[in-house]
Structure 1
């Protein structure tokens, strides 16, 4: 592909023109090859952020990103394949119980996951709290595990949509992360390249989510569902609440512990509800006639979890790391909890060592926040509201500052509206 200049492509989008298929193909392949300069792609990303893209442009951009690497063939797995992707939230450990649950329902779940950055946690960081467990699997090993166990949670191969890896890093440092066309293309290029037959999207809405408004979340969901249709992948999306953290635990090891509670038949009601809602959507797209709630109650999902951990070198009877230091925040007055800000809790957990500011930063497996009083709970003076965990106690002061005002307590007897966890569904 020749005959194009980056400056002409930038000018076209600057002037609100629709990029041609050939322009898009050339741009992605040339940027991936290092032939389009970072400053030129930065300018194009900003033009796209400001002027948008048509559905046709987004579909072609996504296709070009897929074509920058390999596309896995999962046809030999022997089960229908279906995956889930979350746009990220606080306390969002749903992938951990969900993958083995859907596997126990008869599907294969190729859960290619990432690490956390900022206030939202990463699935791989959580799983690496488990002794011996490894995130790195070859495509062949991943396919074998899907056939044998039905579920895998692992790191994506560097050969899948390598254009996205470069673009993702560039968007982060050029204030262009918010572009819906780029978010949709980033997510869908990786998921389509992984070879799954079907995909369920968990699009988070609220203070702890990337999308703060339902309208923006719905636009992103519709864009991604349409991208799936353009690439012959069955896709549906649930818009789910992220104004309050999911569950009680926010932090890597403690979120693993909470996930195991769910698989054992317990766990926080909101985590159980969302796990089952997403599982029902997934098994429906996979064409399976089974109720995930019954499968969860049977213990079969726990068996799948243990098999999945063992297959990746982990100890199914693992003992999770514990923090060296703890600090408890108590209620200053009697009353009812009316709100708990997910973003503030996520930032506090990050400050304590559960997250990272840069990709190369280390994390503390045992760090995080336990949210001991959720909206609707009645509390009395001196009752624990938060328990902070870290190995480095000098982090407490900043985390406490982040949590100041995060939890609102109203007068005793105040009515608190029921939390609607699944706000809407977007389907093809």
Structure 2
């Protein structure tokens, strides 16, 4: 069938079969479909949607457009987690070694920062020597030997998605739930996973701020994943404030190492990390009871096995052999640090989390355009959480900047992002589980 006829069918809200979808994806991969045709197809899907079997067929076709990893020789289950993005979301850095210490294998292929949200890959690259884009041989070796490896997507992994997303990004079609679903799952299936847990964010720091829409996305991803043969659960987690009390790259790595070693653990962050770890153990089949799974994950964290795995992973991928013990000596530091002081007494009752993320971008810790170089040292720490009681003049954050002008701008952004007044009503950080 001609590409134009496939587009016409979807334009007219007809259901495409798997062969038609495979042909469309081939056209995206080999440029047999023009940019205009790919854009027209994306708009037709945005306006008319897709049935679950269509989205599953699209997912599988994009998976098969490039390399697909095979971990069948591993002696344990292969599982991963994917987050839809947030501010201060360094969960992957702790989660991968915790789950690996529990007997799973975690080949985590992560992305860079996007918009106001931080990227796991950028965080790992703040570690000197760390090879975030190894070849397939090294990636496989580290996963086999350590149990986990956090790396970036290669050009050979679901390449159809790369072109498709680039066209969607400039044609106002990113928001389509079936296309978001296929984009996420095609890369995860190409990673050779046996099961997946999604962390779907909602709130003012999430890409999908409305809870009901975020839940619709979670239902779509879990349903399409199962239709594609991948067991998948999803947690809906609150992003109406930064998850960690740090936002940036090196500063979030510090936060993660302190979490793993027990030097400092924030309650809210720990709740999300351990809940996701527990869900991964359930979907992987290592535990059948959610409470027991959480206890197993917590034990691997408390007895030091997770911190040990993290250190082994860093070393195996080119980082310092003593990183966990001496992280402060290895990570870059910004030229200046400045306390941001509360303008009056009260409770932190609202945070514009998206603006917190944008403040990090303005400092140089993120990208305005894809070619920007990220400064790993800058960022924010000691971010006061919602509900914190502050007196006038108390610090509500620390800015890590490379110049006075950058610090001045970040200070203004932070003070505008924080609202101090009456005590807010506490909200659960894990709002729902889709299983």
TM-score tier, shorter chain, comes to over 0.9
Counterpart position of 1:351: 362
Helix, strand or coil for the counterpart of 2:252? helix
RMSD: 1.5
Instruction: Give the Cα–Cα distance (whole angstroms) in 1 for the partners of residues 69 and 228 of structure 2.
Output: 14
Name the counterpart of 2:312.
Answer: 307
Could you tell which deviates more after superposition, 69-78 or 10-19?
A: 10-19
1:284 shift after superposition: 1.3
Quick check: 2:346–2:423 contact (8 Å CA) kept in 1? no
Contact 2:108 2:150 in 1 (8 A): yes
Q: Provide the secondary structure at the position in 2 that maps to 1:50.
A: helix
Query: 3-state SS of the aligned residue for 2:254?
Result: helix
Once residues 126 and 229 of structure 2 are traced to their aligned partners in structure 1, the CA distance between those partners, rounded to angstroms, is 36
The answer to whether the 8 Å contact 1:334/1:380 transfers is yes
1:166-181 equivalences under 5 Å are 166-181=163-178
Deviation at 1:385, TM superposition (A): 1.5
Instruction: Give runs of aligned pairs for residues 229-248 of structure 1, distance below 5 A.
Output: 229-248=226-245
Instruction: Tell me the equivalent position of 2:417.
Output: 406
Please report the TM-score for the alignment, with normalisation by the length of structure 1.
0.95
Task: Tell me the TM-score normalised to structure 2 length.
Answer: 0.93
Report the CA distance between 1:399 and its aligned residue. 3.3
Q: CA deviation at 1:187?
A: 0.3
Q: Bigger CA drift: 363-372 or 417-426?
A: 363-372
CA distance in 2, matches of 1:372, 1:45: 39
Say which of 281, 284, 287 aligns to 2:285.
Answer: 287
**What's the CA shift string for 1:373-406, capped at 9, x where partnerless?**
2111111111111222222443345434433431
Partner residue in 2 for 1:213: 210
Conserved? CA contact 2:109–2:151, under 8 Å: yes
Instruction: Decide which moves more: 32-41 or 314-323.
Output: 314-323
User: Counterparts of 1:336-347 in structure 2 under 5 Å?
Assistant: 336-347=347-358
* 1:45 partnered with 2:63: no
Q: Name stretches of at least 5 consecutive residues in structure 2 with no aligned partner.
A: 288-292
Specify the SS of the correspondent of 2:433: strand
Classify the secondary structure of the residue corresponding to 1:136: coil
Moved more, 282-291 or 72-81: 282-291
1:422 alignment partner, one of 408, 423, 430:
430
Q: What do residues 50-82 of structure 1 show as CA deviations (whole Å, max 9, x unaligned)?
A: 221111211111111112112110111222111
Aligned residues: 421
Q: How does 1:159-198 map to 2 (within 5 A)?
A: 159-198=156-195
2:344 to 308, 325, 333: 333
Residue 136 of structure 1 corresponds to 133
C-alpha offsets along residues 346-371 of structure 1, whole Å, 9 cap, x if unaligned?
11111111100222210110111224
Q: Provide the secondary structure at the position in 1 that maps to 2:416.
A: coil
Tell me, which stretches of 5 or more residues in structure 1 are unaligned?
none
